[in-house]
A = this chain, B = another copy of it.
Amino acid sequence: MAIRVSVIGASGYGGAEAIRLLAGHPHVRLVHVTAETRQGQRLADLYPNLRGFVDLETEAADAAAIGRDSDLAIVSLPSGKSMALVPDLLERGVRVIDVGADFRLRDPALYPAWYDFTHIAPRYLAEAVYGLTELYRDRIRTARLVADPGCYPAAALLALVPLLRAGVCGQHIIVDAKSGISGAGRGGAGGGHPFAEASDDVRAYSVPRHAHTAEIEQELAAAGGGETRVTFVPHLVPMARGILVTAYAPLVRPLDPGAAAALYRDAYAREPFVRALLGETLPQTKATMGSNFCDVAVRIDPRAQWAVAIAALDNLGKGAAGQAVQNLNVMCGFPEETGLRVPGLYP
């Protein structure tokens, strides 16, 4: 028997990728797909890869209809948009996986500080479970509201958590992230990122005030048991998909490379979607493209006594829609890899 799922924000890259994955999920029936600005369009016209898979048209997001017809909703809206809709869905008995930022931060005061809005539904923040499955699997099982990690935090946390848990890191960490252009969304401010200007180009942005900083700090503190300060600098690189995070953490006690690798091996040995690279190979985004995998590795700079932790993932996969489907599986009691166990494209 299939669960009934609606996707809110289906015209964006994250929502469309969720639909792509759900189209192949054996226990899901897609019910409503909504879009704020492109209503009444066939999904397969917006996303030509979906021709022959999905015959739905985008609708306005009507909480009553979604509530009536859905067991679960995947919400993929810009920051500040889902907090107005999600409580309504929850109260109508729909479980929610929010791919956006509105329920990730537990402290409501962080929203005006990092996102320039005041949260209108702060009491749901306490209930929301942070949706990085590897960290909160047990709580996700029974959660009504799961707040999926941002694409950058997903990579940064999978890179860093084994070190934080081991208590070997100092309190200031640097996260340098490189993202494919789809991470900037389908219609970014200023007319998006035209090919001719984004090709042959690398640039940093939002330095040093990207909102994902707060989320990374929150979860590193939770993992390590203390306050952690993060300097986070995201970059855009000329590829469609993929994030590589290179994180730099000072060591408070000596850690040799073998012991460092063992932390990663142990942390991820039973994880279906995190591959710890223990040999000479370093993560690369292409090995994860189109998949739900995150590849991680660690190196030690012995001269500086800093660790360098690296993670690669597909920002639309483990960084967004794949993570959402993984949580859907956990929430619904399906085997966690259902509909997701696919290798990336290479080349």
**Interface residues in chain A, defined as those with a beta carbon under 8 Å from any beta carbon in chain B:** 13, 16, 20, 23-24, 45, 47-53, 172, 174, 176, 178, 180-182, 186-187, 191-205, 207-208, 229-231, 233, 235, 237-242, 244, 246, 248, 275, 281-291, 293, 295, 299-301, 303-304, 306, 308, 310, 312, 316, 341-347
**Across the two chains, which residue of chain B brings its CB closest to A172?**
B304
Contacts of A187 in B (CB 8 A): 191, 194
Q: Are A233 and B204 touching (Cβ within 8 A)?
A: no
Q: Are A196 and B240 touching (Cβ within 8 A)?
A: yes
The contact of A182 among B16, B186, B306, B347, by CB within 8 Å, is B347
Known A-B contacts A51-B287, A208-B308, A344-B49; the reply to A200 vs B248 at CB < 8 A is no
- Bound Cα distance from A45 to B306, whole angstroms: 28
- Bound Cα distance from A53 to B287, whole angstroms: 12
CB distance from A35 to the nearest CB of B (A): 15
Contacts of A186 in B (CB 8 A): 194, 196
Question: In this complex, which of A24, A180, A283, A284 has the most chain B Cβ atoms within 10 angstroms of its Cβ?
Answer: A284
Q: Are A288 and B244 touching (Cβ within 8 A)?
A: no
- Sorted nearest first, the 10 A-B pairs with minimum C-beta distance are A196-B347, A48-B287, A203-B284, A201-B286, A49-B346, A208-B301, A182-B196, A195-B198, A49-B344, A181-B195
Q: Are A291 and B49 touching (Cβ within 8 A)?
A: yes
Contacts of A200 in B (CB 8 A): 180, 199-200, 239-242, 285-286, 289
Contacts of A290 in B (CB 8 A): 290, 345
Apart from A231-B308, A289-B345, list 6 A-B contacts with CB within 8 A. A51-B275, A181-B195, A196-B347, A200-B285, A203-B282, A207-B299
Q: Are A197 and B24 touching (Cβ within 8 A)?
A: no
Contacts of A48 in B (CB 8 A): 281, 284, 286-287, 295, 346
Q: Are A204 and B347 touching (Cβ within 8 A)?
A: no
Q: Are A347 and B13 touching (Cβ within 8 A)?
A: yes
Contacts of A288 in B (CB 8 A): 49
The contact of A246 among B20, B176, B198, B244, by CB within 8 Å, is B176
- Can you name 25 A-B residue pairings with CB atoms under 8 Å? A20-B345, A20-B346, A47-B346, A48-B281, A49-B289, A174-B174, A174-B248, A181-B195, A186-B194, A191-B191, A195-B199, A197-B286, A199-B200, A199-B238, A199-B240, A200-B242, A201-B239, A201-B285, A204-B246, A207-B299, A208-B300, A240-B347, A289-B345, A316-B347, A345-B345
